[in-house]
Amino acid sequence: MPSTMDMLRLFIDPSFWVCRLLGPKRNSLPGLPAQVLLRIAELLSRDDITCTSLCSHRLYALLKTRDPSTLRTRRDKLALLARLGRDLPKSYVCHSCLVFHRHDHSEVDPLEPISRFILGCPRLAQHYVHESQLFSFNMKFRYRFHFIHLQLLMMRFYLGPEYGIGTEDISYTEVQLHSLQPGTQLYLISSVDAEICSTHPSLILRVQQIISVDRHKRYLLYRCPWPPSMKRFKIPPHSITICSHAKYQDISTWINKVVKAHRAGEKAPCVSFACSFCGTEAILELVEFENQLALVITKWIDLGAGVTLEDRQWRGHELLEDWPTLFKGGGYAHMRSTEGEFHTEYFTKPSARACFERASRESLQSRNIAYLKDQRFKKCMIYKPTRSAYEPHTWYLSPATHRSPFSSFCSYFDL
């Protein structure tokens, strides 16, 4: 039997109280006997075991042998990180180094290298970005859209304005001036804006390109029915694409059809269609303004919810070797006149165009054409010097400018 001094020494020992106050309670999960915890672990999945082992040091020591993380594949690790990310709203999963990065609410500029706004990711800083993480616009464009943009945009949609980034952070407008020959110029204005579909959570990009030429030079809008030389291939309308699955000859047919209809006297002719692979919807039309003709191409692109790189909606925009296993069939189908669900033989989904609820296509078209009138874009856009004589002169509005009051000021052109 311990003496009174032994009892007193035990009473004043700090470790005695630490065990009593900070140790696991017997009626809690960490406080259960080891044998019981191991029996429970036998009924759990690998992800459940990993999440449970992170609750306390004792659980980690008991369960770490049940989850050999070295045996996990890349897909398994991403699935686990996505699950853990539910409790880490200020962080997001990096698909390059398979860890969590913390977003510090810094501005995200799609024009800057991706490493500028990612903290602690040496792989991205060293340009190890895999092509599957970068959305390709399939055109000569200074704008870059990364899968991380999609993650941060959807983070704000689900968690609120304190997290991620907003759709205005990725807005962009660019004007290119192509000098074809002495006295002949061609303007190409490209713009990108975004909207998150609330009924069917996914990000939709709207890309509009306008090719402007003098009214008496309508022949510049015709497109060769076969691929031209590499030098000419970089000049609109030969450089215009719809998505990764469009054939050059098909796009030439649609563009030339609109131009020929205008030549025949039709006012504002247009043609609309959608890709049965990725669901990208597009409208081609020819409009007049002042002494100019403008070929307008507007596309609506559904990029999905940004949950994983394996998402069918994200991968659907890539040109992959295993397309037959992902999407059977193919080709283009004319859209119905009424906007609603886009239906093919293989899947039915909400129309990306119908889900886009921001400014109408006509108002966007009017805004972009206004930049071209009297070359007003030179007064309110940033000029990018050309690197060679073969590159077009370029002016652009950065996403930061789209967010600022200067954007509204510039839109009225009271300069």
Q: Give the tens place of pLDDT for each residue, 213-261.
A: 999 999 999 988 877 777 777 788 888 888 888 888 888 989 999 999 9
Per-residue model confidence (pLDDT) at position 285: 94
d(CA 410, CA 415): 8
Of the candidates 181, 207, 386, which has an alpha carbon nearest to the alpha carbon of residue 282? 207
Of the candidates 415, 410, 409, which has an alpha carbon nearest to the alpha carbon of residue 396? 410
Q: Is the pLDDT of residue 343 over 80?
A: no
In 156-234, at which residue ranges do the beta strands (DSSP E only) sit?
A: 172-181, 184-197, 202-214
d(CA 235, CA 196): 32
- Please calculate the CA angle 391-392-394 and round it to the nearest 5 degrees: 125
SS3 297: strand
Partners of residue 93 on adjacent β-strands:
100
d(CA 88, CA 221): 51
Single-letter residue type at 33: P
Q: How many CB atoms lie under 10 A from the CB of residue 214?
A: 14
Cβ burial, residue 68 (10 Å; 0-12/13-18/19+): exposed
pLDDT confidence bin for 84, thresholds 50/70/90:
confident
pLDDT confidence bin for 106, thresholds 50/70/90:
low
Query: Are the CB atoms for 78 and 95 separated by under 8 Å?
Result: yes
Give tens-digit pLDDT for 277-308.
788 899 999 999 988 999 999 999 999 998 88
Q: What is the mean pLDDT of residues 154-182?
A: 87
Give tens-digit pLDDT for 351-391.
888 888 767 888 899 999 999 988 899 998 989 887 777 78
d(CA 209, CA 299): 9
Alpha helices in 97-247 (DSSP H): 122-125, 147-159, 230-233
Per-residue model confidence (pLDDT) at position 107: 52
Query: Are the CB atoms for 280 and 272 separated by under 8 Å?
Result: no
Of the candidates 319, 313, 286, which has an alpha carbon nearest to the alpha carbon of residue 301? 313
Q: Tell me the average pLDDT of the chain.
A: 76
Per-residue model confidence (pLDDT) at position 120: 44
Per-residue model confidence (pLDDT) at position 191: 92
Alpha helices in 162-316 (DSSP H): 230-233, 248-263, 312-315
Per-residue model confidence (pLDDT) at position 55: 82
> Token pair for residue 294?
């403008």
Which of 22-26, 183-187, 250-254, 366-370 has the lowest average pLDDT?
22-26
Q: Is the pLDDT of residue 318 over 80?
A: no
pLDDT confidence bin for 111, thresholds 50/70/90:
low
Q: In the structure, how many helices (H) and strands (E) does the chain have?
A: 17, 15
The β-bridge relationship of strands 145-146 and 172-181 is unpaired
Q: What is the mean pLDDT of residues 44-51?
A: 84
> Would you kindly state where each structural domain of the chain is located, as residue ranges?
24-71, 163-412
d(CA 2, CA 13): 15
Q: What is the mean pLDDT of residues 328-347?
A: 42
Q: What is the mean pLDDT of residues 10-34?
A: 57
SS3 287: strand
Which of 34-43, 251-260, 329-338 has the lowest average pLDDT?
329-338
Q: Is the pLDDT of residue 314 over 90?
A: no
Query: Are the CB atoms for 150 and 314 separated by under 8 Å?
Result: yes
The β-bridge relationship of strands 91-94 and 99-102 is antiparallel
